[in-house]
Amino acid sequence: MYVGADYERYVEYVTSHDGRLTALSDDQSPDAEREFWLSTDSGIAGNGVDPTSVRILARWIAGQEVKQERIAVGTAKIRSKDRYDIPTDPATGRLTIFEALLPVQFKWGNAAGGDVVFGISLAWDDKTQQWVVWQTAIYNTGGAKSIVCPTY
């Protein structure tokens, strides 16, 4: 199994789940999100994942946080608060969120690579009755010198 970027499939996913593609700031080009998405994904794109090491964790159930063990010495997270019409605060929004954790190799630019865990959090959207990507994260388990989180 491999982690790979396909921006067009990402756009299809977002729009099919009633999401909005939003640029990083008003003063950037219309292609700003695409450029940012591709550049941040480059740290893990094409890297292998051992399917037997993938974990799924409950993070929030109906607004109640599920305590889990700490898995990282450092974390980079991205959450697009305007992507979908769901609450950004899981407690007040009574969200149910599960996170898939995929151990991968990470390499960013000229920095030394290392082992990280790529997390994809999915929240249940009551309005559309679908799971939507709520947050992505890179958890540095101590092996990477530099981490940047991919956008999904």
CA distance readout (Å), 1 to 43, 48, 50, 88, 112 = 16, 6, 7, 31, 23
For the segment 91-127, what is each residue's pLDDT rounded down to a tens digit? 999 999 999 998 887 766 666 667 788 888 999 988 8
Render pLDDT for 17-51 as a digit per residue (tens, 0 to 9). 777 766 555 555 657 777 776 766 666 666 667 77
- Whether residue 55 lies inside any domain: the answer is yes
* Structural domain boundaries enclosing 16: 7-140
18 domain-assigned = yes
Backbone angles phi, psi at 104, to 5 degrees: -140, 170
| Section 72-101 average pLDDT | 80
Cα-based distances in Å from 52 to 20, 56, 125: 34, 12, 28
101 close to 55: Cβ distance less than 8 angstroms: yes
pLDDT of amino acid 34: 75
Would residue 36 count as lying in a domain? yes
By percentage, how much of the chain surpasses pLDDT 70? 62
Instruction: Tell me how many domains the chain contains.
Output: 1
- 2 assigned to some structural domain: no
Residue 56 has pLDDT above 90, yes or no: yes
For tokens 């981490």, the residue is 147
pLDDT of residue 81: 64
